[in-house]
Amino acid sequence: MKIVDVDVWVVNLPLVNPFTSSFETKTGETRTVVRIRTDSGVEGWGETMWGRPVAAIVESLRKDLIGTSPFALESFHRKQHMLPFFHGYLGYAALAAIDVACWDAMGKATQQPVTDLLGGRVRDEVPITALVTRADAPGASGSSLAGALAEHAVRVVEEGGFSAVKLKGTKDVQGDVAILRALRAALPDVNLRVDPNAAWSVPDSVRAGIALEELDLEYLEDPCSGIEGMSQVKAKVRIPLCTNMCVVRFEEFAPAMRLNAVDVIHGDVYKWGGIAATKALAAHCETFGLGMNLHSGGELGIATAAHLAVVASTPVLSRAIDSMYYLHADDIIEPLHLENGRLRVPEGPGLGVTVDEDKLRHFAAVNEREGDLTR
């Protein structure tokens, strides 16, 4: 089975509500979608972070893909090992789009779910996290903001059945602490997290971390920047520290271990360059006694299905993963079903999802009109 063609689209999909973090507010998501076609008639679909810059990189790899087997992923990744060096995250994202499409094709060719190709299921359903941002309380400010967000979070948990809640933090450290106190008072039994995306200084992270210890947070994610900064915070704060920012390549794993900087690492198929790389990260985390979870960069259905396959086949991924899937107003596949805060792992061959090509073309046309909403 050989690859004979590669198709690439860039799509824009709206969010149900604006989503705010310490560095942006977005109302929609831009994603790159890839399809590989083979001489046997099997097709494989992939999807990854960001838009036109990533799509251009994928297009540039077409000549290296034509005539090769989707099963030859190790050779493909070895040949493209310099791509992230030159393109950074964009390079990893482009590699991941092709990687996921190849796994989908391999599963369809063998009539096996990707989950089974990765070692088989250890779980059939994957809990996801309810994400809370300041944009969820429009019009509220000052002393009313914490209460308004707590009321919103209670509604989301009750309606969706979520077992974990994550606050997207801001540069307003004390405001975030007040919101977390209100969330814990309103939701005493959920796993509670906060992620300021490294917007806090080391001293502010220490002060806030000590103040938050009484709230029994599941973890504090990237309060400050860098392995050195996280190490200083970890030495003084008893809340487990998680990162999606200071350990994002294998080269950063050993320094983080030497400095005892983190307790939990967020993987991401699309930031780490593919499914096998994410599974390798899981092996590293288990070997060193770390926890692991998955980051969300705004995955639509194809990318979410790949994350579900990884989680379903990886014992260490036992927490509610981050997923923005439920925040999208539409999808380019027949939608995945969310029930009681959990997504069921697809059961069909490959990723187990069916692309709606009419919707794909529609949202690609939206991108043509609007341009990229995210990088």
Whether the Cβ atoms of residue 239 and residue 219 lie closer than 8 Å to each other = yes
Beta bridge partners of 131: 166
**H or E element in which residue 110 lies:** helix 89-110
Backbone angles phi, psi at 15, to 5 degrees: -90, 155
Residue 234 annotated as catalytic: no
Q: From CA 74, how far away is CA 72, in angstroms rounded?
A: 6
Known active-site residue 362 = no
Active-site hit among 87, 271, 295, 328 = 295
Give DSSP secondary structure letters for 131-145.
EE-GGGSTT--THHH
Chain centroid offset of residue 148 CA: 27
CB 205 within 8 A of CB 223: yes
- Tokens in use for 139? 């019009």
Q: Is 118:306 a contact under the CB 8 Å cutoff?
A: no
Distance in angstroms between the alpha carbons of the first and the last residue of the chain: 34
**Among 108, 168, 279, 307, which one carries the catalytic annotation?**
168
Q: Fill in the amino acid letter for 190.
A: V
Contacts of 339 (CB under 8 A, 6+ apart): 161
What residues are annotated to the active site? 168, 295
